[in-house]
């Protein structure tokens, strides 16, 4: 069974731009969670989607948004990029719940200049 895939793997943007990241979960997994990883703040939960609805969210500003499609694929969008948004963005999928084992993708490395 294929693992979680994320595209693109690397991105370079400038301040003020917006960016969209994509995540394809493991087949049969319906829950997709997104995390931001930075050296200073570590791994922080952004939000979780299930059945095309945001079910859980972390403490990030509204510039961070996401969506999930009927095939469980998910996208994350960051608008009006700031330098501090430079991070590794990780996507994880699980069968149904956040408490189910989450399987992580390789991440998208976003650099904001």
Using CB under 8 A as the binding rule, whether residue 4 contacts another protein is answered as: yes
Looking at the Cβ atoms of 17 and 104, the one nearer to another protein is: 104
DSSP the chain: ----EEE-SEEEE-TT--EEEEEEPPTT--EEEEEEEETTTEEEEEEEEETTEEEEE-S--TTEEEEE-TTS-EEEEE-S--GGG-EEEEEEEESSSTTSPPEE---EEEEE-
CB of 45 to another protein, least distance (A): 4
Which residue in the block uniquely carries the two structure tokens 């319906």?
Answer: 30
Mark 69-108 with x for binding to another protein (rule: CB under 8 A) and - for no binding: ---------------------x-x----xxx-xxxxxxx-
Smallest gap from residue 65 Cβ to another protein (A):
17
Interaction residues for another protein, span 44-63 (CB under 8 A): 44-45, 48, 55-58
Q: Which residues bind another protein (CB under 8 A)?
A: 4, 33, 35, 42-45, 48, 55-58, 90, 92, 97-99, 101-107
């Amino acid at each position: 069974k294929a693992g979680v895939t994320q595209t693109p793997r690397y991105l370079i943007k400038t301040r003020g731009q917006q960016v969209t990241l994509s995540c394809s979960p493991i087949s049969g997994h319906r829950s997709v969670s997104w995390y931001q990883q930075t050296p200073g703040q570590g791994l922080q939960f952004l939000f979780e989607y299930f059945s095309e609805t945001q079910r859980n969210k972390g403490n990030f500003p509204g510039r961070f948004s996401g969506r999930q499609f009927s095939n469980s694929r998910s996208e994350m969008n960051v608008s009006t990029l700031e330098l501090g948004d430079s991070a590794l963005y990780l996507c994880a999928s699980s069968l149904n719940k956040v408490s189910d084992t989450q399987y992580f993708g390789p991440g998208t490395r976003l650099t904001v200049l």
